[in-house]
Structure 1
């Protein structure tokens, strides 16, 4: 299994509406990309200082399924249209479980 983790920090100018649009668009992806086995996308709970603002954790059966998700045009559209306009920084990892 491959677990994909992506974390985002938003720009200071990012609005609540833009942040909500990111979450809404990401939550549509599991219904569109059948290779996704599990999917969580949510803002940081605000428990610890210095965390990223938002995280995605997605599981796939194998690396090929992750690549399908990564390269899917609908996923790429969410990145280009929703995430990138308000993105200050990003970190990601794919774990082999």
Structure 2
């Protein structure tokens, strides 16, 4: 099984309503993409010096499933939203 983790730091000018829309759409992905075994996503609650704005953890059966998710038609619009509106993004994929 592969765990995909993502951290997002939004640009300050990216409106809160649009951040929430992105979050809602991410939460709907498991209903649309059958290769997602589990998905958790949320806003940071500590607001610490090293904190990011949102974090995501998703589990997949295989690396091929992660690759299919990355280019899935229901995932691509979220990339289109996050790409130009992020100050920084970090991800890691590892075997669990």
- For normalisation by structure 2, the TM-score amounts to 0.93
Matched, 1:14 2:14: yes
C-alpha displacement at 1:47, in angstroms? 5.0
Match of 2:94 in 1: 95
Higher helix residue share: 1
Match of 1:41 in 2: 41
Question: Aligned in 2, Cα 1:47/1:10: closer, same or farther, shift over 3 Å?
Answer: closer
C-alpha displacement at 1:40, in angstroms? 0.7
Matched residues in 2 for 1:48 and 1:9: separation? 13
Count of aligned pairs: 96
CA shift digits 1:28-65 (9 cap, x unpaired): 11000000000011111125322111011000011111
Gaps of 5+ in 1: none
- For normalisation by structure 1, the TM-score amounts to 0.92
Matched residues in 2 for 1:48 and 1:2: separation? 28
RMSD: 1.1
